[in-house]
Structure 1
Amino acid sequence: MEITRILDAALRKAAAVWITSPGHGPRLVHAHWRADALWVITGGTEQSVPGLTDGAEVTVTVRSPSTHSHLVDAPAVARLTEPDEETAQALRTARLNTKPEWEAVYRLEFSA
């Protein structure tokens, strides 16, 4: 799947993307790429992402990790999920300088 390959190459090095959710403009969001999906944590001590709900169709805008120019806009569906312990630990580790406490975890799934 071409879009997954492009996202995989770009998001291995990126810690943030722009997410446009229904009824809201683009918002810079910290995210973590794992298992061909983009993981976003919200609430608690973490970021607020208005319009990000279970089943929401969103657009993820990715910039090139080397030039920071626009790379791709990719449609995705947000799925509210309970991460397994390995994924939860990866999300905690990805935040580096904070002790994340979240209320919700979304797995953004990309279509072909």
Structure 2
Amino acid sequence: MEIAQVLDNALRKAAAVWVRPDGHAPRLVWALWRDGAVLVAVGGAEQTVPGLADGVACAVTVRSPSTRSHLVEVAATARLVVPDDDTAAALRAARLNARPAWTAVYRLELA
């Protein structure tokens, strides 16, 4: 099975991933897998990811959904995006236990 398929299978089930922007410590964050990229909402009442900014290189670590062990780490580039209505709705739906209040959304484009 090629790495893209492994990632797709794991990220469809993952509610959280580890994100490590260059020069910063990894941070466990809730995320949404959509259209071949990881979406991370930050700021406001949401999570913080020090060092995450438009164009920053990151490492994304995914754990196995069944064993919770380290599955794969991949390089990504963070892109600041303005989510369309469908994406914003998906981000809100992914936050089952909290009222979303983000100030920025980053699309982590996997290398």
Structures share fold, TM-score greater than 0.5: yes
CA contact (8 A) 1:3 1:74 kept: no
Structure 2: unaligned runs, 5 residues or longer: none
Q: Which residue of 2 aligns with 1:10?
A: 10
SS state of the match for residue 3, structure 2? helix
Of 47-56 and 3-12, the range deviating more from structure 2: 3-12
Q: Which residue of 2 aligns with 1:99?
A: 99
Moved over 3 A (4+): none
Letter in 2 for 1:16: A
Q: Distance between the aligned counterparts of 1:5 and 1:80, measured in 2? A: 25
Q: CA deviation at 1:10?
A: 0.3
Q: Distance between the aligned counterparts of 1:29 and 1:63, measured in 2? A: 12
Q: Distance between the aligned counterparts of 1:5 and 1:85, measured in 2? A: 27
CA contact (8 A) 1:43 1:103 kept: yes
1:37 aligns with 2:30: no
Q: Which residue of 2 aligns with 1:49?
A: 49
* Number of aligned residue pairs: 110
Q: Distance between the aligned counterparts of 1:101 and 1:25, measured in 2? A: 24
Q: Residues 10-89 of structure 1: matches in 2 within 5 Å? A: 10-89=10-89
Q: Distance between the aligned counterparts of 2:92 and 2:25, measured in 1? A: 27
Structure 1: unaligned runs, 5 residues or longer: none
**TM superposition score normalised by structure 2:** 0.96
Q: Tell me the C-alpha RMSD between the 2 structures.
A: 0.8
Q: Distance between the aligned counterparts of 1:81 and 1:4, measured in 2? A: 23
SS state of the match for residue 39, structure 2? strand
CA contact (8 A) 1:42 1:49 kept: yes
Q: CA deviation at 1:3?
A: 3.3
CA displacement, residues 32-80 of structure 1 (integer Å, 9 cap, x when unaligned): 0011000000001100000100000000000000011110000000000
SS state of the match for residue 12, structure 1? helix
Q: Which residue of 2 aligns with 1:109?
A: 109
